[in-house]
Amino acid sequence: MSAGAEEGGARPGRDGAPGAPGAPGAPASGRDRVRGVAVLGSTGSIGTTALRVLDRQRHAFRVSALTAYENATLLEEQARRFVPPFVGLVRDGRPHPADWRTGAECLVGAATLAEVDIVLNAVVGAAGLDATLAGLRAGKRVALANKETLVVAGELVAAAAAQGGGEIVPVDSEHSAILQCVGHRPASEIRRLLLTASGGPFRGWTRERLEQATVADALRHPTWRMGRKITVDSATLANKALEVIEAHFLFGIPYDRIEVVVHPQSVVHSFVEFIDGSVLAQVGVPSMELPVLYALTHPERLADEGVAPFDPVAASPLTFERVRAEDFPALSLGLAAGRAGGAAPAIFNAANEQAVALFLEGRMSFADIASAIGAALDALSGMSAQDRGALLAADAAARAHVREGAGVGRAHRPAEV
């Protein structure tokens, strides 16, 4: 929906944009008062990273809500430490304190609480969609790690932001980098976005060797420690396709002006080329604490000593390589789905989520992930994307298609969107 994106609905807050810090009706600046943060997916990689940052920044932020899917033990520990008024556990049936909310609705409940100014959406997968929509409609800042939200429903997200006055600020390091480089310049001054990719654990692997890749191989990421799903997405390069689609919706840049370059050191987080030929990059140690903090404070900056200082000599040499798209077909499938628009990105995302789950369960090979995505996209092209219901139907059909193709029954951990 580049047209919708061009109109700026889902774009990160800029001066005067709806809900942008400083605009009328926007939450007060972080320097003025303590802001409430809901951390959705608090028990995951980004969630625990965010809580480390929030722990250091208690003078500026208060944790107002925490949610997890099923890890009640860690959630309870976090609740004892931060004492939020709202705690939600999506999957009921585990012992938990009586005042916790349960079920998938707790995500929307947390995202729309009056005391929440910022919804940090660190849920994995399409399950994060409704909380993003609800938070934006309620006028909140959504600090978005859950990139799948924008891939499944970029246009709906833009409409929700326009309707409620909320704003999205990206947590993904590449998009945080782009936001910091773009500043307040309009999309018309941007010639090209160049997203960096670490290349994942299989960067130097031949196509033949990739056929034999195991789950343990795929989970051995060279530079980032992340949740299992995004780590596999980094190995297939599906993650970079999700990020290109995310960038398209966030910054209103057409797909033919968004490129990917492999940068194994993960120090340059992305580049922005402007129409005059100047190129800006944002650089830093590969730690998600930096983009998490920036998503909370944008466009301001708060002093923070959590991450080791950047040492350019220690980071040297910085290298860049062409992406081997021919050996990582999930990337091209995702880019084609983004360009096709309609329900195709939602189908790509759901087929990928399901295929990765089956790969992690040992029921699908690494190479079959991309084949399953391609087959789902072929079989389901033309499905409607007119509203949330249609997109969820496309999501469900893609998951079912992948499971049937793999000869597997119902998913034991559905998207719960």
Q: Establish if 226 lies at the interface with ligand NAP (CB under 6 A).
A: yes
| Nearest alpha carbon to residue 19 among 140, 156, 118 | 140
What Rg value do the Cα atoms of the chain yield, rounded? Answer: 20
Q: Establish if 39 lies at the interface with ligand NAP (CB under 6 A).
A: no
For residues 339 and 332, give the distance between their C-alpha atoms in angstroms, rounded to a whole number.
11
Q: Establish if 282 lies at the interface with ligand NAP (CB under 6 A).
A: no
Instruction: Give the range of 5-13, 38-46, 95-103, 150-158 binding ligand NAP by CB under 6 A.
Output: 38-46
Q: Establish if 147 lies at the interface with ligand NAP (CB under 6 A).
A: yes
Instruction: Give the range of 18-26, 45-53, 213-221, 315-323 binding ligand NAP by CB under 6 A.
Output: 45-53
| Shortest distance (Å) from residue 231 CB to ligand NAP | 8
Instruction: Give the range of 227-235, 274-282, 320-328, 365-373 binding ligand NAP by CB under 6 A.
Output: 227-235
Matching residue, tokens 């309009």: 186
Q: Establish if 201 lies at the interface with ligand NAP (CB under 6 A).
A: no
| Shortest distance (Å) from residue 104 CB to ligand NAP | 6
Residue of the chain from 4, 41, 334, 338 that contacts ligand NAP (CB under 6 A): 41
Within positions 1 to 30, which residues make up the interface with ligand NAP, using CB under 6 A? none
Q: Establish if 348 lies at the interface with ligand NAP (CB under 6 A).
A: no
User: The dihedral of CA 366, 91, 376, 245: what is its sign?
Assistant: negative
Give residue number: closest CB to ligand NAP. Answer: 44
| Nearest alpha carbon to residue 246 among 168, 299, 322 | 168
Within positions 248 to 277, which residues make up the interface with ligand NAP, using CB under 6 A? none
Q: Which residue, 165 or 170, is less far from ligand NAP as judged by CB?
A: 170
Residue of the chain from 50, 111, 116, 122 that contacts ligand NAP (CB under 6 A): 122
Q: Which residue, 69 or 366, is less far from ligand NAP as judged by CB?
A: 69
Instruction: Give the range of 21-29, 44-52, 183-191, 215-223 binding ligand NAP by CB under 6 A.
Output: 44-52
For residues 69 and 75, give the distance between their C-alpha atoms in angstroms, rounded to a whole number.
9
Instruction: Give the range of 63-71, 245-253, 272-280, 322-330 binding ligand NAP by CB under 6 A.
Output: 63-71
Q: Establish if 44 lies at the interface with ligand NAP (CB under 6 A).
A: yes
Q: Establish if 47 lies at the interface with ligand NAP (CB under 6 A).
A: yes
Question: Phi and psi dihedrals of 28, rounded to 5?
Answer: -60, 155
Residue of the chain from 224, 396, 400, 408 that contacts ligand NAP (CB under 6 A): 224
Residues within the interface to ligand NAP (CB under 6 A)? 41-47, 68-71, 90, 107, 122-124, 127, 145-148, 172, 224, 226-227, 229-230, 288, 416
